[in-house]
A and B are shown apart, each in its own frame.
Chain A
Amino acid sequence: MVLSPVRQLTGLVSAKIRGFAQLLTESRGPYARAFENLIVALIIFSVASIGVESIPGLPDWVMRTLHVAEIVVVAIFTFEYLLRIIAARNKLAFIFSYQGLIDLVAIAPFYVGGFDARWVRALRLLRLLRVLKLQTHYLEKVVEERTRELAEKNAALEKAQAQLKAELEVARSLQLAILPAAFPARPGCEGAARMIPATTMGGDFYDYIELPDGQIGLVIADVSGHGVPAAFFMAVARTNLRELAVRHTDPGDCLAQTNDALCAQNPLDLFVTVFYCILDPKTGVLRYANGGHNPPYVRRAAGPIESLNGAGGLVLGAMPGVRFPTHTVQLLRGDQLVLYTDGVTEAFNPTEELYGTERLVDEVRVHGSGTPAALVERICQSITNFAGTAPQSDDITLTVLTWGAP
């Protein structure tokens, strides 16, 4: 379809007028703001002049001036009213909207009754409504602006949080990756372990260290607190212990050296509880030292359960120069060694009851005759059942070793 030149022209002109109307009434730009300020000033002036008019005995020239001013004000209000209609997408909706009606009421009395009709003068006070309207309009704009700013900030925060979460996930997988995957292969020896971190980053760890003379070092440890600082301290503690274990074949000496090393590089004043033992797979002799950790259990193949509660030293990293006594225990064929962190015994249930050592010992007593992997699984299941809906507040770590003699 081809439009006639006239229609094209009127279309172009009306588009220009509409653009101008929108520029003054709808956009956020400086023109719209200036126009709005002008209107507010006129409303205030016009309401004030209504007050002045009511003073009796004013000179004629004042009344004439006010009359002219009123005509100018109404002309500008009418111009503004028409602009708003032109700018509105749905014109009827604007005319019958609250804003549109108030705009109309502010000028209509002038056209109906002229300047002098008394009732019209009273009606002109309705212009005050426009001030309220403008105020509401202004507030709405401010709210809109703030909402937008808030949404932008929220989006930025969410993005930063997602990034942080992704980085923590990477750190966590690195951390889990440094835990040994399998117990060193030795005839008759079998081991299994599990670490379930409470937050994304745990402070617990366990380790198996292959020592030069064929012996195996076993570590279970718990760094104070959790999160990134605990994870870092865990990595430092593990590395130090691994390095020193090769040179110090006495568990107590090894812990003392590790403690001094940790105290020298501990800016956050963290500490770590460590149980360290060395098993001779050929003879079943187990030597251990304890740095403030929960004493492990030995479940004898014959049934009784013993606690490896030989006197220990202080947690590692708290104070340099601490000594850690070494104790020796003889394992017999089929004996099981159960190492754990306090995340096991201090798991809470929904009524704030502790899992406790008794439940752990019961599980070991009843299910200790199976494989280490089966016992680890049983205990973890038992803790999960006990805790129910209660959130896991601490890392849970378990290591089980069976010695069977070569």
Chain B
Amino acid sequence: MNVRIEALAEATCVIPEGRLDFDAAPGFQEALERALGAPGKAPAALIIDGAGLEYVSSAGLRAVLLAARAAQRAGVPFALCGLQPAVREVFDLSGFSRIIAVHPDRATALAQVQPGRA
């Protein structure tokens, strides 16, 4: 799996591509930690753009959950966007989409995580 980080003015986007399975989860988790930055240097918001995600295993869900918790502790709005139907189903089934904001695409996510609206 390949992970890119894009730092935008309104949010930092983490963009995983491929299969987020047991082997890929540690690298993804590390990328999320990096994107969230050191205390005091946190981004305005953290968004996972999952358009390129083909598969998410439970270990991948755990990495997302840990990032969501860390973001919450740091007071950084956190959201997922662009999930393909099969991946979206995993988030729905596990109940994660009930505790983490999931948006259809990046534009919507960016609009929703604007400071003051999150």
Q: Which residue numbers of A lie inside 8 Å of B, CB to CB?
A: 203, 222-226, 269-271, 273, 291-295, 312-315, 318-319, 322, 342, 346, 354, 393-394
Contacts and interface: CB of A to CB of B under 8 A. Distances in A.
A346 B94 contact: no
Nearest to A293: B93
A225 B22 contact: yes
B66 A315 contact: no
A5 B22 CA distance: 80
B83 to A, nearest CB: 16
B95 A291 contact: yes
Contact of A225 (B59, B93, B99): B59
A318 B68 CA distance: 11
Contacts of B93: 292-295, 312
Interface string B87-103: 00000011110110000
A393 B21 contact: yes
A354 B65 CA distance: 24
Contact of A226 (B22, B66, B69, B95): B22
B65 A318 contact: yes
Interface string B33-47: 000000000000000
A388 B62 CA distance: 29
A314 B59 contact: no
A393 B22 contact: yes
Given A223-B58, A269-B65, A315-B94, 19 more contacts: A224-B59, A224-B61, A224-B62, A225-B59, A226-B22, A269-B62, A271-B58, A273-B58, A292-B93, A292-B94, A292-B95, A294-B93, A312-B95, A313-B95, A314-B96, A318-B65, A318-B95, A318-B96, A394-B22
Nearest to B95: A314
A315 B95 contact: yes
Contacts of A346: 55, 57
Contacts of B59: 224-226
B11 interface: no
A225 B65 contact: no
A318 B58 contact: no
B25 interface: yes
Contacts of B65: 269, 271, 318
- How big is the B interface, by class? 10 to 19
Interface of B: 21-22, 25, 55, 57-59, 61-62, 65-66, 69, 93-96, 98-99
A226 B59 CA distance: 8
Q: What secondary structure prevails in chain B residues at the interface with A?
A: helix
B58 A225 contact: yes
Contacts of B57: 342, 346, 393-394
5 contacts: A225-B62, A269-B62, A315-B94, A342-B58, A354-B55
Given A346-B57, A393-B21, A314 B94 contact: yes
Contact of A273 (B21, B94, B98): B94
A192 B58 CA distance: 25
B57 to A, nearest CB: 7
Contacts of A295: 93
Closest 10 CB pairs of A and B: A314-B95, A224-B58, A292-B94, A225-B59, A224-B62, A292-B95, A315-B94, A224-B59, A313-B95, A318-B65
B99 A319 contact: yes
A116 to B, nearest CB: 75
A252 to B, nearest CB: 13
A318 B98 CA distance: 12
Contacts of B62: 224-225, 269-271
A292 B22 CA distance: 18
A294 B58 CA distance: 12
Nearest to B86: A354
Which among B55, B58, B66, B94 has the highest number of chain A CB atoms within 10 Å? B58
A85 B57 CA distance: 70
Contacts of A226: 22, 59
Nearest to A393: B21
A322 B57 CA distance: 22
Contacts of B94: 273, 292, 314-315
